[in-house]
Structure 1
């Protein structure tokens, strides 16, 4: 079993992702700014997830499971769903949405499996 740790762009004690064989575990990603609309915060979060996946030559199409954490005071699951379906296409990965009072209005972590090495 081969493990690869993808260093975070931030000087914090975590990796953006850990790759074990063809499986990619992506750390929680959030928006770049809270000063934009909640729709844009969701888009930024998904783009940041995509950016981490690209570091290991994977894409959103490789996702198999996502966990979404939402601040329901700002973003409802229905609002999230509209933007999510605008970006991701079928077949969709398995998904869990959790309500939380986090520093972000939205955060997504994910598991992906690369089809090609």
Structure 2
């Protein structure tokens, strides 16, 4: 099992967990949920007190990855299988992402 803290502008929002190749979970932190001024990170991951479960990496996180040739180049440089999206996400989404969300492996 692998875990990552999901951060928005450096503040922890929740946890992204890969339990197995076909089981991913995302859950918001209680502190984030209890603050009405804090938004959800995605329309597909609304700010509710429940565990989101998926057989594949959630589209919100998958869309943080590079595509095409850039994905292949990153995978080669980082020595990660180009189909190991969770590992690529953890290595490429720690800083300087397109939006406010970053990840930090735990």
TM-score by structure 2 length?
0.30
TM-score by structure 1 length?
0.28
| More strand per residue | 1
